[in-house]
């Protein structure tokens, strides 16, 4: 079976990593962690505008490498789509190279994690509940402007997991019906 990539998008502290890991366990496959976390830890700072394209590029490189290890589904904890969103939020523009990577958004399923849990600061990477909400609104707006279908998952992980599984199973329905 070909690997189907799943984009898991959402604002900071909205449960993307937790959902990606849980889905990988559920489907006995792999997931791609968000490279930005590693970048922040390694450099002990938030990224500069000039870092954004490279962060998205490394994220994609890791996604491509993980695809070779995936079984059926590959869960991607963020994509260049989110890096471009944050570039727009923090610098008011998106580097043309990053914009080109963002435009490659070609995932079988796109899940968006709602910012409905508690906001938890974790040092340099997270800013505030207000920023989280405005980023969430920017994500939804951009998905709708680009006509990218998505499923909003809400609630606790125990509530989100079946919502995500239903969205993935819905994706498979046309393939099963055409057999």
Question: Look-up: residue for tokens 């508690």?
Answer: 118
| 4-177: CATH architecture | 3-Layer(aba) Sandwich (3.40)
Stretch 32-56: mean pLDDT, rounded?
94
Q: Does the pLDDT at position 126 exceed 70?
A: no
Q: Does the pLDDT at position 41 exceed 70?
A: yes
C-alpha closest to that of 23 among 43, 8, 44, 38: 8
Confidence of residue 1 (pLDDT cuts 50, 70, 90): low
Distance CA 12, CA 127 (A): 8
pLDDT of residue 173: 78
Question: Look-up: residue for tokens 């994220």?
Answer: 59
Q: Does the pLDDT at position 118 exceed 90?
A: no
Confidence of residue 179 (pLDDT cuts 50, 70, 90): very low
Q: Please give the angle made by the CA atoms of 159, 14 and 17, to the nearest 5 degrees.
A: 85
Beta-bridge mates of residue 31: 75
Stretch 107-121: mean pLDDT, rounded?
90
Stretch 122-128: mean pLDDT, rounded?
65
Average of per-residue pLDDT values in the chain: 91
Distance CA 126, CA 134 (A): 13
Sheet-wide strand order for 4-9:
30-32, 73-77, 4-9, 109-113, 151-153
Q: Does the pLDDT at position 178 exceed 70?
A: no
State the pTM of this model: 0.92
DSSP 46: P
pLDDT of residue 15: 92
Strands 109-113 and 4-9: parallel
Domain range summary for the chain, segments of one domain joined by +: 4-177
Q: Identify the H or E element spanning 32.
A: strand 30-32
pLDDT of residue 157: 95
Q: Which of 4-18, 71-85, 113-127 has the lowest mean pLDDT?
A: 113-127
Q: What percent of the chain has pLDDT over 90?
A: 79
The highest-confidence range among 103-107, 125-129, 141-145, by mean pLDDT, is 141-145
pLDDT of residue 87: 94
Stretch 55-82: mean pLDDT, rounded?
96
pLDDT of residue 130: 85
């Amino acid at each position: 079976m070909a690997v189907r990539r799943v984009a898991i998008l959402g604002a900071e502290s909205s449960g993307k990593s937790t959902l990606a890991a849980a889905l990988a366990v559920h489907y006995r496959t792999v997931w791609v962690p968000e490279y930005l976390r590693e970048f922040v830890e390694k450099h002990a700072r938030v990224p500069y505008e000039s870092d954004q394209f490279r962060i998205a590029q490394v994220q994609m490189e890791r996604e491509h490498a993980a695809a070779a290890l995936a079984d059926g589904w590959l869960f991607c904890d963020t994509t260049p789509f989110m890096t471009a969103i944050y570039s727009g939020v923090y610098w008011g523009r998106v580097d043309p190279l990053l914009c080109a990577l963002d435009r490659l958004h070609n995932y079988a399923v796109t899940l968006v994690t709602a910012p409905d849990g508690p906001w938890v600061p974790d040092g340099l990477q997270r800013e505030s509940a207000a920023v989280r909400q405005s980023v969430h609104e920017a994500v939804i707006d951009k998905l709708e402007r680009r006509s990218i279908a998505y499923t909003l998952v809400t609630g606790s992980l125990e509530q989100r997991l079946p919502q995500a599984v239903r969205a993935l199973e819905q994706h498979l329905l046309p393939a099963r019906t055409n057999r």
